[in-house]
Amino acid sequence: MPKRANILMIYTGGTIGMKKTPKGYMPESGYLQSLMANQRELNGEHLPKYTVIELKPLLDSSNMAPSDWVKIAQTVHDNYADYDGFLVIHGTDTMAYSSSAASFLLEQLDKPVIFTGSQIPMQEFRNDGVENLLATLLYLQQYCFYLSGVFLCFAGKLMRGNRVTKVSAKTYEGFASPNLSPVGEAGIGCDLGLEWSLVSRVENHSDELPDIIARPVQVGVFKLYPGMTPAFVRAVLAAPMQGMVLECYGAGNGPDGNAEIMAEIKAAADRGVVLVAVTQPQIGNINLDLYAAGVALRDVGVVSGFDMTTEAALTKLYYLLSKYDDIETVKHQITVSLAGELTR
Ligand code: ASN
């Protein structure tokens, strides 16, 4: 019998533990724990030992802010020595942002942190909460002594936390990992599969996590669209903005034929705003050398985000700008994989 793992469950809110109220579904303190206690599948020797703590207030994840990402990471940090792994129960709406942020805030993590949640509340029939919690707990039991980093487990798939994006508000397969295959898949057998080549441990891992540094910074996302005006671009990039994810077309292209728009982008880059290009299609890698429309963006100071998701690029900007004062360091670090978030 393998050693039984000791897991900390950090409950942040989300549909999984919500109750129906006259105002719509809302999380309620203690409710998820009472539902879990009555689920045969979620109790027994086949699972790790687990302790549940609630973050206050429990949130619909639409209300999550960067300070909540820090709170989640700090909770892992504060309890790091006492547990073998961590399970973060989270709403699906912004889970990909939180799991991406956690992967950076806990960059040197040498234990696994797995996020999960559900599309249907656990109080309802045909809910996916029991299944998602069960798969996550089983992954932690089977691999927590060998696995490190932040992951998201949903509909049987284990994916890197900074590679995921929410793709469905309608089906059980709520998340995809468009530019990196899932690292594991729970089939019908007892053993849960894991693709070891995709979960290589980070080099700078640590038994003791360094303090979490997070100062509030101003970052945003801006999707390029046909018809955008120079005034719009100026307003979006205006001070006090420090960093912006530009969701570009295709391989990283923009309207290079519009001199006024290009001048606004250049002015922002010259002021020190860090501009990171990601691609609007979910699948693909930025290449600012391919088209004249991409070279022009590179020439005015836009940095390639390679195949990062918008969620990873935004939270990485947040992390780097709150950690470093030097803009050139931030720009360089954007292009380097810190926690498996990009492939060049
Ligand atoms: N609105 C919910 C949340 O993100 C959606 C969910 O969890 N399925 O908290």
pLDDT of residue 194: 87
Domain termination site, one of 194, 229, 245 = 194
Whether 256 and 313 map to the same domain: the answer is yes
Task: Give a yes or no: residue 317 inside a domain.
Answer: yes
Count of alpha carbons within 13 angstroms of residue 329, beta-carbon side = 8
Type of residue at 312: A
Task: Give a yes or no: residue 1 inside a domain.
Answer: no
Q: For residue 22, name the pLDDT band (cuts at 50, 70, 90).
A: very high
Whether 227 and 171 map to the same domain: the answer is no
Catalytic-labelled residue, pool 12, 15, 116, 136: 15
Cα 92 to ligand 1 centre (Å): 5
Q: Is 61 annotated as a binding residue?
A: yes
Whether 187 and 287 map to the same domain: the answer is no
Which residue has a Cα nearest atom 8 of ligand 1?
119
Q: Indicate the average pLDDT of the chain.
A: 94
Whether 135 and 95 map to the same domain: the answer is yes
What's the rounded Cα separation, in Å, for the pair 221 and 315? 11
pLDDT of residue 211: 81
Nearest atom in ligand 1 to the alpha carbon of residue 60 is 9
Task: Give a yes or no: residue 97 inside a domain.
Answer: yes
With a CB cutoff of 8 Å and minimum separation 6, the contacts of 191 are: 142
pLDDT of residue 207: 73
210 pLDDT exceeds 90? Answer: no
Whether 132 and 241 map to the same domain: the answer is no
Whether 249 and 175 map to the same domain: the answer is no
21 tagged catalytic: no
Q: Which of 28, 140, 138, 43 is nearest to 84 (CA)?
A: 140
15 tagged catalytic: yes
28-70 pLDDT, tens per residue?
999 999 999 999 999 988 899 999 999 999 999 999 999 999 9
What per-residue string of b and e applies to 197-226 under the rule 16 or more CB within 10 Å gives b?
ebbeebeeeeeebeebebeebebebbebee
pTM (two decimals): 0.96
Whether 177 and 69 map to the same domain: the answer is yes
Task: Give a yes or no: residue 212 inside a domain.
Answer: no
Per-residue tokens: 155: 């509909």
Task: Give a yes or no: residue 343 inside a domain.
Answer: no
Q: Containing domain of residue 147, as a range? A: 6-194
| CATH number, domain with residue 308 | 3.40.50.40
Distance from first CA to last CA of the chain, Å, rounded?
A: 42
Per-residue tokens: 297: 């963006």
CB atoms inside a 10 Å sphere around CB 280: 16
pLDDT of residue 201: 61
118-135 pLDDT, tens per residue?
999 999 999 999 999 999
| CATH number, domain with residue 76 | 3.40.50.1170
Whether 30 and 100 map to the same domain: the answer is yes
Whether 117 and 228 map to the same domain: the answer is no
Whether 240 and 187 map to the same domain: the answer is no
Q: Kindly list the protein residues whose Cβ atom lies closer than 6 A to any atom of ligand 1.
A: 13-15, 60-62, 91-93, 117, 119
Task: Give a yes or no: residue 213 inside a domain.
Answer: no
CB atoms inside a 10 Å sphere around CB 99: 30
Q: Is 92 annotated as a binding residue?
A: yes
Cα 169 to ligand 1 centre (Å): 9
Cα 213 to ligand 1 centre (Å): 28
Q: Which range has the worst mean pLDDT, 61-70, 103-112, 234-243?
A: 103-112
Percent of all residues in the chain with a pLDDT value above 70, rounded to a whole number: 97
Which residue has a Cα nearest atom 7 of ligand 1?
91
> Per the structure, how many domains does the chain have?
2
Task: Give a yes or no: residue 208 inside a domain.
Answer: no
166-198 pLDDT, tens per residue?
999 999 999 999 999 999 998 776 678 888 888
Cα 60 to ligand 1 centre (Å): 6
Contact 181, 198 (CB under 8 A): yes
